[in-house]
Amino acid sequence: MFGPIPQVVWVHPDDAAGRSIEDKDVVAVFNELALVTVHAKVTDRVLPGSLWAPRPLTGLNGIPLNALVPGVSQDIGGGPIFNSVKVKIKPAAGFAANRES
Reported as a single tens digit per residue, the pLDDT across 17-53 is 999 999 999 999 999 999 999 999 999 999 999 999 9
The pTM of the full predicted model, rounded to 2 decimals, is 0.87
Q: Longest C-alpha distance within the chain, in Å?
A: 40
- The CA-to-CA distance between both ends of the chain, in Å, stands at 40
Contact 26, 92 (CB under 8 A): yes
**Helix, strand, coil % (nearest 5) of the chain?**
15, 25, 55
**Which pairing describes strands 26-30 and 88-91: parallel, antiparallel, or unpaired?**
antiparallel
All domains in the chain, ordered by first residue: 8-94 (2.40.40.20)
